[in-house]
Structure 1
Amino acid sequence: MSTDLRNAFIKTIPIMCGYLFLGFAFGISLQQAGFGAGWALLISTIVYAGSLQFVLVPFLASGAPLVSVFLTSLFVNSRHIFYGLSFLERFRRMKQAYPYMVFSLTDETYSVLCAQKDVDALSDRELFFIHLLDQLYWIVGSLGGALLGSVLPFDFTGIDFAMTALFGVIFYEQMEQAANRLPAVVGIGCAIVCLLLFGTENFLLPALVSAVVGLSLLRPWLGRERT
């Protein structure tokens, strides 16, 4: 177990650096909206959905209807439906841990798994620890932000942009390492077109669907090496 935990920790060090800061940003946002550390712990434990948690802050502050929260959550996190399918069979073999593995698969954890040469070669324990450590990093950061946000003498306006910045860095690194950049071009193109057609509030789900369809049609070309 110690070997699996150590290996998982080494693999998740980049996520730790990002999640401690991003969780801190979320905790500060929550504290500034009038919610304490207990809320930060609860949300980061049972929701654990980075960008959605930032969206939830104004909803909680304004007492938004549950229907609005549900629909927003569906659209913001709908991307998990698409990329989660690629590891579904691997998680299913983990039996009792299967529900947690599905629940805790975030964008950043997914990027760690994709960076492995062979996920099937990882032990169940190491795979579980990767997910667990990532969530613990987020929880610790969230609690730190909620507890310290009110006493630190800084202006935290715009700190929630940290999540967007992290997505940008992850995308750039994945594109640099990819043998074929066509999927990135397709994804960017679908996002831009859907953004222009549907606006900022409604473009995410259509962009994901069109990207999946486009990549499925272009599948014969996706295996070609980049030149």
Structure 2
Amino acid sequence: MNSDLSFRTGLKDTLPTVFGYIGIGLAFGIVSRAASMDVWIALLLSLITYSGAAQFVIVSMVAAQSPLISIVLSVFMLSARMLLTSMTVAPYYKDESMGKNIALGTLLTDETFALSMSKLNYTDHKLSYPWLTAANLFAYSAWAAAAVAGNLIGSLIPDPEKFGLDYALVAMFIGLLYLQMIGDRSMKFSFQVGLVLVALVLTYVGMIFIPGSLLVLVVTIVTCLIGMGVRRHASTNV
């Protein structure tokens, strides 16, 4: 990763994360086939919903014949965290038109958000519309293509877990987190490790009391507040 913010560099920077999209996209396609969904339904879900976790929830709830309102609310709560990620990225595009901001926000994912935060460490905290557009479109296309491929070959892979496809997304996030931590020069590495441990503990404890659809959002907010509080306290005492 370097300081270039061109469209071409956006494609290049996104390439390593695409393998995670392919793994999870294939797994979703296989699951959708197991739930008797046609390939065009899997494609539409990938293009319109465009959320791995939400799409798995939709498939399972449709298979269980859950009410439509329950499916909609579950997907909304599961994806509510994207409000935070979008608000974090938005200030870097305050000079762009509303249309461009809507386009970027519509296709923003956890992965392209993490990639953007890592890119800031190399660009003097700047982002460009061409760079993020390239990242979003590359990820979007790879996800949809993988979902279609998974659905088509679903009958040949009845148990995707034994191939480790269900772990691809987790592995990709671990890699993105590590790159962000070693690239961020504004915070000590030990401080970042401490926040990761706090998030893990909060997640473990929160699983007892908080519904899974809300857990990620709550842990994210609480960990951010803790990190901000610690940094403010440290700067005040300097």
> TM bucket by the smaller chain?
0.7 to 0.9
Q: Which moved more, 1:213-222 or 1:96-105?
A: 213-222
Local SS of the residue matching 1:115: helix
Q: Which moved more, 1:43-52 or 1:72-81?
A: 72-81
Deviations 1:26-72, CA, capped at 9 Å, x for gaps = 11111111001101111111111121111111112223112211221
Local SS of the residue matching 2:160: coil
Deviations 1:92-135, CA, capped at 9 Å, x for gaps = 43322221211211111111111112386443222211111111
Q: How does 1:1-227 map to 2 (within 5 A)?
A: 4-95=6-97, 96-116=99-119, 117-118=122-123, 121-150=126-155, 152=156, 155-157=159-161, 159-175=165-181, 177=183, 179=189, 180-181=191-192, 182-198=194-210, 200=212, 203-220=215-232
User: Measured at CA, do residues 23 and 92 of structure 1 come closer, stay the same or move farther in structure 2, by a change above 3 Å?
Assistant: farther
> 1:23, 1:138 within 8 Å by CA — same for their partners in 2?
yes
Local SS of the residue matching 2:50: coil
Instruction: Give how far 1:161 is off.
Output: 4.5
Q: Which moved more, 1:173-182 or 1:28-37?
A: 173-182
Instruction: Give how far 1:176 is off.
Output: 5.2
Deviations 1:1-32, CA, capped at 9 Å, x for gaps = xx934212110111211111211111111111
RMSD: 2.7
Q: What are structure 1's unaligned runs of at least 5 residues?
A: none
Q: What are structure 2's unaligned runs of at least 5 residues?
A: none
After superposing on structure 2, the runs of 4+ consecutive aligned residues of structure 1 that deviate more than 6 Å are none
Instruction: Give how far 1:175 is off.
Output: 4.3
Q: Which moved more, 1:42-51 or 1:78-87?
A: 78-87
Aligned length: 220
TM-score normalised per structure 1: 0.83
- Distance in 1 (CA, whole Å) between partners of 2:41 and 2:110 is 23
Local SS of the residue matching 1:48: coil
- Distance in 2 (CA, whole Å) between partners of 1:138 and 1:129 is 14
- Distance in 1 (CA, whole Å) between partners of 2:228 and 2:29 is 39
- Distance in 2 (CA, whole Å) between partners of 1:123 and 1:197 is 41
